Amino acid sequence: MPLPDAKALLPAAQEAVDRAVEYVLSHPATGVRDKGVREIVTDTDEAVERIVRDHLLRETPGIGFLGEETGAAGDRDTYWVLDPVDGTTNFCHGLPLSAVSLGLVHGDLPVLGVVALPFLGSRYWAAHGCGAFRDDVRLHVSDTADLSRALVALSDYGGGPDAPVRDLLSAALDRELSHRTQGLRRLGATAVDLVFVAEGALDASITLGNRAWDTAAGAVIAREAGALVVDSDGSPHTTRSRCAVAVTPGLRDAVLSLLDITRQTPYRPARD
């Protein structure tokens, strides 16, 4: 299908997220079980995904859907992508840094994002070319240009077949960032990292790996707030990227130089 009018689809996305937030706030984590190394899923994740999927397939029937828990349905070129509870471990422990993250992807490019932080009462949203907002406040990234003054988020240690490589890269980046920045944070939810970059609370976030449900919505929001959202080699971020790096423009070169360590690993584009 042709490029959708992302702004016109915001009401449907916002209503879907409204329903998700209502459910998350009224249903504590139950049915907690492992689904991989350092990854868990709950009954709440699955219920929220059903609620959002059914709403969007009803309201926007020509658009496909990709969910973390239930997979893909419908159009594979233009589709909604959902992480029903990004930061499930935080959610299960009562740590309020978790999010409902809903994006819209066309081709390989995220073009709309809504990220709600239910336990903080905040909502972030953006559509391609329309700016980024927290509730009704226009967002803009920080103007930090000195890495030593920067607060940077880094993704958690990994799971899956690439876990040994990811863990080595994470440890190396942990050492460098802890030494060279004002502070390093591991918040445990990629969508939270990205929207915090958008509002200037973080100066950069580095996510090793690029699962669309984790990154699509936050990538749009960060990009529309003025962040450079790129892969580990500095190429523009898409759903095919190996990593998701969001950085205020003044720190681009400093952050990307640290990511030279991803060369010849699965976390670098193959062309490099």
Q: Three-state SS for 222?
A: helix
Rg of the chain, C-alpha, whole Å: 17
CA-to-CA separations, 126 to 14, 163, 173, 184, in angstroms, rounded: 11, 32, 30, 26
Four-CA torsion 55, 90, 227, 108, nearest 10 degrees:
-40
d(CA 207, CA 195): 13
83 annotated ligand binder: yes
d(CA 16, CA 223): 22
86 annotated ligand binder: yes
162 annotated ligand binder: no
Helix pair 6-26, 43-59: axis angle to 10 deg: 150
146 annotated ligand binder: no
Do strands 151-154 and 183-185 pair parallel, antiparallel, or not at all (unpaired)? parallel
Non-local (6+) Cβ contacts of 14 within 8 A are 114, 125
d(CA 95, CA 201): 18
Cβ contact 216:191 at 8 Å: no
List the binding residues for Mg(2+).
68, 83, 86, 214
List the binding residues.
68, 83, 86, 214
